[in-house]
Structures are given as structure tokens and as C-alpha cells.
Chain A
């Protein structure tokens, strides 16, 4: 059997956490009107029994009142091998996330996978450039921690909120010429 000539990367179907029913959202993490100093956890996603080694992670945050430039929204990705045993007190279901005394719960989640650095813009979807992340388990969920000093935009219709955490699989494919 001939060895492949090239290993290429393809872009798979995105997993999108955001408001249930909002455009493009595939997993719920209700981010509309998320208050400063509060965090939200998303519904768990099954990456499949065979999943990509690398994923691109994008963070979009829709501001309401303009935040102070340089403040952050921090996103964490948490993996589980069985969708039952979750670290950092996440549950695998969409809901508020208790940061814990001195943010101890959140610290157990490890460092953020991506942090959005805010600019001083109101009513704007801010987008952080993607980072590459490798999952450590088949099941994954997210925590979004708002440190903007402002709430996320409170849309009249929550599903209009443009805040999203997007996970794009980047599977390797081999190519023979």
C-alpha cells in the first residue's frame, strides 16, 4: 500500500453553543443577558466515538452597553469520557454555573481555552480569532465566564443574541496524488 503523499486538514461541521433556537445553534448555552461576574455552562455535546484530534474554537460575544476595552470573556471547554463524570462541577446541561468561593469551581476547569478581549463597542458582536484545541474526551461542554463589567446584550427576543462559542473540527485527511 502506498503511503499518502499529503496530510491535509479539512473543516468539519461546526458545533455551536448559544441560545436554543437561535440561528446556527446546535447546543444550548443560554448567553442572552448574562450578567457581569456570572458564568453559564452549556449542554454537553457528543463528539462521536471517533473524533477529530484538533478543533478550532471561536468565541463571539454580543455586547449591550459598551464594555471597557481590555476586559474579557473567558471560555472553558470541559471533557468527560462518559457524559456522566464531569469535572469542575459542570452538569452537562445548560444552566447557570456557580463559580464557587474564590472561583474555586472554575479554577478546577483549568485555564480558559479562549478569552475574548473586549473593545469599547456597544450592541456589537465581538469576535476573537480562533485558537486550536484538542479534546481529552468524547463528551464536551463549555463554561462562559463574563468579566466585561457589563451584561451581555439583553435582546428583546433572546434568540436574536449573537453570542456563541463555536467548535469546528479540523480532521486530518490523507491524500494520494
Chain B
């Protein structure tokens, strides 16, 4: 069950999208839930370390990263080590935390990666999730929608369209 705070976030999301709001207005809660759970949002949450190794090989970046990990300057060494550690670790996945995504952008700015290198890496990590999951970390149910929209429905009824 969602918390009151999560309910408020979903309520705002429903009213921020004219199409979803139009379904809510006529009481079509199943379609509201379906739209909020439809996998339309691309996120980059994690990538397998195997994909990182493959990416570095395909893009010809492995040696470059290892050199920077030894001799890099101006923070490049630290950032290169992050990628080298990921490739060499026994972990199955590498978390693409916001700090890591910022590092990738910085590596592009510094000319270590090209924009295509970045796009290739992120494409390997891309996941499609629902708007609800992207906002509150989980899908919503039809029951959730009925509860969340109750405030818009005086006496539990959908408002008459005049």
C-alpha cells in the first residue's frame, strides 16, 4: 500500500497529464492505472559488469581507462578507476547512481568519452518502467487509483459533466 506522500505524488501525476486526467474524470480507474504503469519512462539504474566490459572493448576504451587510472590528472584518475573497478569486480552489476551518471557526463566534457560512447553505454543500461514506478518506486493498482481520486469525487461519485 502506498503512503500518503506517495498518494499525493500519484495524484499530482494524474492531474499533470491531460490524457490520464480525462480518464480519471469519467471514472475509468483501470485505464488510469494502466497508463501510469505503462512502460514509457526510460531509466538507467544499473548495468551488468559484463556489459561494461563489452562496452569498453567495443568502443576501444579499456586501455584508455586503464592508462588514466594510473596516470590521469584533474580527477580523471578517480573517475577512470570507477570504471576499471567495475570491470574488474566480481559484482554482477554496476549501480548507475546519479554520481556515476555525472561522472560519465564529466568524462564526455573532458574528452575521455565521446557522446556516442556515452549513448552506447546508457543504451546497454536502459530500462523501460512505468511513470508510477519512476515516481514512487512501485506500480499502482486500480484500488490505489480509486482511493487517491476519492477526494475528487463528492459522495463517491464521478462529477456530472454539464
Contact = CB atoms under 8 A, between A and B. Distances in A.
Nearest to B153: A35
A36 to B, nearest CB: 4
Contacts of B147: 37
Contacts of A30: 155, 157
Interface residues of B, number: 21
B156 A64 contact: no
B142 A149 contact: yes
Contact of B156 (A71, A97, A149, A154): A97
A95 interface: yes
B147 to A, nearest CB: 6
Interface string A31-72: 011111111100000000000000000000000110110010
A98 to B, nearest CB: 9
Interface residues on A, range: 20 to 34
A90 to B, nearest CB: 14
Nearest to B31: A65
A64 to B, nearest CB: 7
A150 B28 CA distance: 5
B149 interface: yes
B61 interface: no
Most A Cβ at <10 Å: residue of B31, B150, B161: B150
7 contacts: A30-B157, A35-B158, A36-B142, A37-B143, A38-B146, A151-B28, A154-B26
Given A33-B27, A35-B27, A151-B27, 9 more contacts: A35-B29, A35-B146, A35-B150, A36-B145, A36-B146, A37-B149, A38-B156, A149-B29, A149-B30
